């Protein structure tokens, strides 16, 4: 079983990317229940959630009007992400967890996750709470840059000394060209983008595998898994796609 788990709730797994600001409540509740059961077994966990039809949609809407995000654009994107965060926290709370929110626009100086301070998050972990962060919009000079939830997770995982790093996505794991589950992935080669789904402004599955490979340099158990497999992954079972450096 995982001792300290860092888990990314993919925006695609907790929202419907096809409609703006729509939450997949069933999926979110199932994920929250899996995390609650893991906590009851004595595990420690910190979470990061993605943007899905909230952040990615807000960014796409602005980028359809002009080519870059200005500093002022951080505001509506941040608000959109906060609306999703509240839904995530509510779901976790309803499953008996005690989540606390750590917005990157307050914890990070730039969109580089190395600029983030994870001390407040570690404080909450030590108090037995479940810290939650997310992908966010960070003003940088005249522009706004997006901090990817996947990148943030890798940095957070290393800050909290996570032995398990799990990326929850809509599919059951990384799929090959025939749509079959790849049991292990140890490089970006061979990972094919098979579905051009929706709008992921931070790079989709290829970027996710790249982040997972970086996480695997430090954590012993790194996986990309579907929501239905999360509980078993937290128990240390060989499910979804294992990512090995
Ligand atoms: N080879 C593949 N294996 C798994 N998922 C893939 C693959 N190619 C494309 N995808 C798509 O990438 C999604 C995961 O990346 P992303 O859209 O960034 O999700 P998230 O919102 O969870 O970050 C999957 O849900 C799927 O729609
Ligand atoms: Mg993504």
Domain ranges of the chain: 4-243
Is the minimum distance from the CB of 180 to ligand 1 under 6 angstroms?
A: no
How far apart are the C-alpha atoms of 61 and 201, rounded to whole Å? 11
Ligand 1 contact, 181 CB (< 6 A) = no
CA distances to 6, 7, 135, 165, 224 from 233, in Å: 12, 10, 23, 10, 9
Phi, psi of 161 (to 5 degrees): 65, 40
Tell me how far apart the alpha carbons of residues 233 and 165 are, in angstroms, rounded to a whole number: 10
Ligand nearest to the CA of 24: 1
The pLDDT, as a whole number, for residue 198 is: 63
| Nearest of 102, 109, 101, 111 to residue 148 by alpha carbon | 111
Neighbouring-strand partners of residue 138: 145
Of 109, 183, 117, nearest to 140 by C-alpha is 109
Q: Look at ligand 1, atom 13, and give the residue with the nearest C-alpha.
A: 205
183 Cβ inside 6 Å of ligand 1: no
192 CA: nearest ligand 1 atom: 1
Q: Domain 4-243 has what CATH class?
A: alpha beta
Segments in the chain below pLDDT 70: 195-199
Q: What is the pLDDT of residue 197?
A: 60
d(CA 174, CA 182): 6
Q: Establish whether residue 99 lines the binding site of ligand 1, counting it when its CB lies within 6 angstroms of any ligand atom.
A: no
């Amino acid at each position: 079983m995982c001792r300290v788990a860092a888990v990314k709730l993919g925006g695609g797994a907790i929202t419907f990317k096809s409609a703006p600001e729509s939450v997949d409540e069933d999926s979110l509740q199932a994920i929250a229940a899996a995390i609650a059961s893991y906590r009851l077994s004595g595990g420690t966990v910190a979470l990061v959630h993605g943007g899905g039809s909230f952040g990615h949609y807000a960014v796409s809407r602005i980028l359809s009007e002009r080519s870059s995000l200005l500093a002022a654009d951080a505001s509506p994107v941040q608000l959109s992400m906060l609306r999703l965060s509240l839904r995530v926290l509510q779901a976790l709370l309803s499953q008996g967890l005690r989540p606390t929110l750590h917005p990157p626009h307050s914890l990070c100086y730039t969109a580089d996750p190395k600029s983030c301070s994870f001390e407040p998050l570690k404080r909450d972990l030590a108090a037995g709470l479940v810290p939650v962060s997310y992908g966010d919009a960070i003003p940088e000079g005249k522009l706004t840059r997006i901090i990817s939830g996947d990148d943030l997770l890798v940095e957070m995982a290393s800050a909290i000394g996570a032995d398990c790093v799990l990326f929850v996505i809509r599919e059951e794991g990384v799929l090959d060209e025939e749509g079959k589950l790849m049991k292990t992935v140890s490089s970006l080669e061979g990972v094919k983008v098979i579905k051009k789904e929706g709008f992921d402004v931070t790079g989709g599955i290829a970027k996710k595998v790249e982040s997972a490979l970086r996480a695997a340099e430090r954590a012993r158990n790194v996986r990309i898994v579907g929501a239905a497999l999360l509980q078993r992954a937290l128990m240390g079972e060989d499910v979804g796609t294992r990512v090995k450096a």
